[in-house]
Amino acid sequence: MGSVIAPEEVPALAGASGVLADANRFLGELTLYLKPEDRTLLRAAFLFSETAHRGQIRRSGEPYISHPLAVATILTQWKLDAQALAGALLHDVMEDSGISKLELTDKFGKTVAELVDGMSKLDKLEFENKEEAQAENFRKMLLAMARDLRVILIKLADRLHNMRTLDSIRPDKQRRIARETLEIYAPIANRIGLNGIYRELDDLCFKYLHPHRYEVLSRALKAARGNRREVVTKILEGIRTKLAANHIAATVYGREKNLASIYRKMQEKHLSFSEVLDIYGFRVIVQDVPTCYLTIGALHSLFKPIAGKFKDYIAIPKANGYQSLHTTLFGPYGTPIEVQIRTADMHRIADAGVASHWMYKSGDEGFSDVQKKTHQWLQSLLELQSESGDAVEFLEHIKVDLFPDQVYVFTPKGKILNLPQGATCVDFAYAVHSDIGDRCIAAKINHELAPLRSRLKNGDQIEIVTAAHARPNPAWLSFVTTGKARSHIRHFLRTLRFEDSVLLGERLVNQAFSALHQEKPVAQDAWERYLRESGDKSREDVLADVGLGKRLAVVIAKRLLQLAGQWSEDVTPGRKPAAVTIRGTEGMSIQFARCCNPIPGDPILGFVKKDQGLIVHTHDCPVLSKNRADADKMIDVEWDPEVSRLFDVTIRVMASTVRGTLASVAAAIAEAEGNIAAVTMTDGQETGERHNMIQFTLQVANRAHLARIMRSIRQLQAVYRITRVRG
């Protein structure tokens, strides 16, 4: 056979006859489904990879070529095309052997080179820490995967072989790789429907993260096989007999649950191994969908079903395309029996997911439902990437979306959406469309108004109410669960904060010019020279840094004057600059300190805090007094005479314990045109005190408005004392 490798062609493998035999088996029987010219390509790729890795040895002592060969062999079980298999054989040559992408393109074509490049790490770039490097490598791989799904299939096969051969490295490194696999790669395998790989990775991670528990549980499971064989045989015979009596042709078999899932069940339900009765599941494979439902009826008449334990994943498939009927029955001796019923096609998809019917076509024509769902998920990755601030944030969003637990909800038109467990109305709004999420103001769950933070349940019908001028609320970040919602909100806030910071930075720089006796703005060429000198992209970037407290306005102003030729060392900042006017509508770049809650009419002072912008305090704020040493960060600020917004302020009222006091105080506040945002009360009768303590958060226009409210409250006979609460 032309594709077989002769020993003299690879003299370096003379002492590794097992590797050479594996190579010939791969190029022979395992790739018989390919065309002869494709197998010629694979032969060339193997020889090229063997030459590139010659002299490199794995920790296990095997020649390095054994690893890419094993990865390509794993991929043959999905009947992947020659380009993917060549990419697997070559996946480490760029990273470990210095082969360029251009050289791979010349020898094996652009597609193979792109696959290998998608697998190669970013070792040549500088990163601040290991976490950032890992996140950036992962981001690159996922973006390559969004362009071509074969990248992640190669990566998962690569990770599976590495996990299978993890014994030869240090225990601390074993744990690190296993944890990364458990957090990222196993969930991705589950997300795209590769359940066989998911279960094996899950067990291997358990083995290396909890080696002693793995050994104990493994021994217990082997012992249980003999003890429970009789029960399993009885159940299998009962199912087969019942189905035959109902003229249902089916393949029935029992399967042992993987160790990691048994261990998780023991942890979640606080059970010992002997108390976990359902370590075996049973699977029934039938010819078509109607027979699935006939089978469930037959089984429910054989063994009683456990209430609430029936799930129909045929009518509503999982996000990864998985379809089956699930039921749990009371078996012999009270043993719970978990049964999955599916067709042969469903069984193939359940094990291999998107790889189960491999095809590459332009556009979506000919795509299966599984491939369409995977394609949509991959496109959402590109959307997350464009909005995430950095690689670490991107990885955080991806991890959120990889959790397998799902809830299935309906749009008003009956379309089904699957969301992670714990998803809220805001998550639903962003899942429908990013514009709906940005503009949502209210929601209806099953035709009844509900808060936007309400958690959704299976079967809920959701309707989102929008407004043209609405925008995302920062508070949403405290309860949304999906990566899409979180990234959209953060992207909006980042953009808004940048714009607000630029405006504040400009005001602070102009104030610094005023202090340096320079009334006219400097010429544009001074700014251009400053940008070339500092390496900043734009003037807005510099002003945003000033607004966020990352740079001092006076230093920027002084340098600009020097570059413009308008600076003299004799000029000293002597004149007090004009104060920055606070209107209360500046946005996110100006914040009002929670320690003193300033309101219009209070004497105020600004403090520029790094990454937070300008924080406005009252003059006598104790927190501000601790920062007096940073005088260059203190900014004179004053209230605009025409402030139109309302400000939160807290007052504490001591009043008698007679009935109706709270209502009287609330009425007095309303009479003085005050608005109550929140109220808490300590009942004096319960605490043994002679009075009640009532704390109100009020919304007031200014200090005079607050004084009017407090006078109105003081006139009540039941009130002993009233004070304004600072912080």
- Torsion of Cα atoms, 466 then 469 then 473 then 474, to 10°: 150
Residue 650, number of CB atoms within 10 A of its CB:
17
96 is catalytic: yes
Alpha helices by DSSP H, 150-272? 150-164, 171-180, 186-191, 195-209, 211-245, 259-269
Which residue among 96, 106, 167, 364 is the active-site one? 96
Q: State which H helix or E strand residue 61 sits in.
A: none
| 414 backbone dihedrals φ, ψ, rounded to 5° | 90, 5
Rounded to a whole number of angstroms, the CA Rg of the chain reads 34
Q: Which neighbouring-strand residues pair with 445? A: 448, 462
Distance CA 716, CA 713 (A): 6
Task: Decide: residue 274, CB within 10 A, 0-12 exposed, 13-18 middle, 19+ buried.
Answer: exposed
Q: What pairing do the DSSP bridges indicate for beta strands 637-639 and 580-582?
A: parallel
The Cβ-side half-sphere exposure at 666, using a 13 Å CA radius, reads 11
Distance CA 305, CA 325 (A): 13
The answer to whether 582 and 590 have CB atoms below 8 angstroms apart is yes
Residue 331 token pair: 């078996």
Distance CA 201, CA 106 (A): 36
Distance CA 238, CA 523 (A): 90
Residue 31, number of CB atoms within 10 A of its CB:
22
The answer to whether 338 and 278 have CB atoms below 8 angstroms apart is yes
The answer to whether 136 and 129 have CB atoms below 8 angstroms apart is no
Residue 64 token pair: 């390095």
The answer to whether 512 and 577 have CB atoms below 8 angstroms apart is yes
The answer to whether 178 and 170 have CB atoms below 8 angstroms apart is no
Q: What pairing do the DSSP bridges indicate for beta strands 613-618 and 590-592?
A: parallel
Residue 407 token pair: 């809830």
* Residue 40, C-beta contacts closer than 8 angstroms, at least 6 positions apart: 2, 3
Which residue among 95, 278, 345, 438 is the active-site one? 95
Long-range contacts of 64-70 (CB under 8 A, 24+ apart): 64/92, 64/96, 65/13, 65/19, 66/16, 66/19, 66/22, 67/92, 67/161, 67/162, 67/165, 68/92, 69/19, 69/22, 69/23, 69/26, 70/22, 70/161
* Residue 136, C-beta contacts closer than 8 angstroms, at least 6 positions apart: 122, 125, 127, 391
Question: Which single residue is written with the structure tokens 């069940």?
Answer: 265
Distance CA 584, CA 606 (A): 13
Question: Which single residue is written with the structure tokens 């699935």?
Answer: 292
114 is catalytic: no
The answer to whether 529 and 563 have CB atoms below 8 angstroms apart is yes
Which string of DSSP letters, residue by residue, matches 460-504? Answer: -BEEEEE-TT----GGGGGT--SHHHHHHHHHHHHHHHHHHHHHH
Alpha helices by DSSP H, 516-538? 524-534
* Residue 707, C-beta contacts closer than 8 angstroms, at least 6 positions apart: none
Kindly list the catalytic residues: 95-96
